[in-house]
Structures are given as C-alpha cells and as structure tokens.
Amino acid sequence: MAIRRAVAPGSFDPITLGHLDVIERASKIFDEVIVAVLINSTKAGLFSIEERIDLITRSVSHLKNVRVDSWSGLLADYCEDHEIAAIVKGLRAVSDFDYELQMSQMNLKLKGIETFFMATKPDYSFLSSSLVKEISKYGGDVGSWVPSHVHLALQSRFGK
Ligand code: PNS
C-alpha cells in the first residue's frame, strides 16, 4: 500500500503551539508528515530559515513520523517532487478561509494536490506567529503559546 504522506507548509517564523497542535494531530492520521518551511525571498523574517528549521525540529522530536524540510518555490511542485498527495492546514477562523480556499483550489488545479483543513483548537484560534513576535518584542509574555525553547529564542532575539 502506498505511504500516505502529507505536508504541513508555512512560514513558521516562529513555530507556535497552534502549529504544533495541527502537526501532532496530522501525524496520527497520515503515515508521514513533512513540516516544510516555505522560503519567501521578498519577506525578511525574524528568524533565518536554518533557525526556524532548528526550532521546529526540536518541537517535533517526540513525533517519530514527522520530519522537517524547506523549499523555495511553489508548494505544488514540492508535493509533486516528493510524492506528497496532501497538504494539511489549520483553520483558525472564517477570516482564514477565503485565502486558504483559493490556495487549495489552485494547488488542486496546478498538480492535483488535495488540501485537508483541520479546525484549530479554540485555545489557539487567536494565535499567530506575527502576534507572538509583536507581543514578545514589547516585553509581553508569550510562554503559553510557544514551546519553551522558542520562548527563549524570542527573548534572546529581543534582548530580554
Ligand atoms: O504560514 P503562512 O505564511 O500562512 O504559509 C503560507 C504558505 C507558505 C503555505 C503559502 O504562502 C505557500 O504555499 N507558499 C509557497 C508558494 C506557492 O506555492 N504559492 C502559490 C499558492 S497557490
């Protein structure tokens, strides 16, 4: 039987507990989950791609069927190259839906890749990497929303 392999794509700048929840739940459904950091050359991140990969790798070390990768280009091409039939995305609120629907339909059209949406846990429905960075930048405590090593990395980046 073919391996059911899925990709959980994103910027992950940095990974949050919301991302991790979706990755953990996806790892129970698919045989293998690849967390792919998509490189956007027009958008400078807080963390480098290598740092993001390291933070994700440490966050998923307890999940034996999850690995981490990065990709510069179309997600649909990554899926085709790596024999991935499914994309997994978390949906936090209706506001996520329009854009996610558009991308999922485009990825289906481009390469026949299916997208599975997973409802985010209500505890994390307000959470985003952007808000975590902003709160951390101004000295707010984001310890409830990111893994502890990510919290430390944020504090160190903002000189706290
Ligand atoms: O965490 P994000 O920033 O919401 O993730 C968005 C991401 C990286 C998954 C999306 O922008 C993407 O797939 N980028 C890769 C380039 C691509 O394939 N664009 C066309 C999408 S139909």
pLDDT digits (tens, 9 = 90+) for 62-107: 999 999 999 999 999 999 999 999 999 999 999 899 999 999 999 9
The model's pLDDT over 97-116, given as tens digits with 9 standing for 90+, comes to 999 999 999 999 999 999 99
- Cα–ligand 1 centroid distance for 1 (angstroms): 30
For domain 5-124, the CATH architecture is: 3-Layer(aba) Sandwich (3.40)
CA of 78, closest atom in ligand 1: 18
Q: Where are the domains of the chain?
A: 5-124
- Mean of pLDDT over the chain: 96
Q: Which atom of ligand 1 is nearest to the CA of 102?
A: 22
Pocket of ligand 1, beta carbon within 6 A: 9-11, 38, 74-76, 103, 106-107
The pLDDT value given to residue 157: 96
Give the Å distance between the CA of 75 and the centre of ligand 1: 7
Which whole-number Å values give the CA distances from 35 to 16, 26, 58, 136, in the listed order? 13, 11, 12, 24
Global model pTM greater than 0.85: yes
Torsion of CA 55, 96, 24, 8, to 10 degrees: -70
pLDDT tens per residue across span 2-39: 789 999 999 999 999 999 999 999 999 999 999 999 99
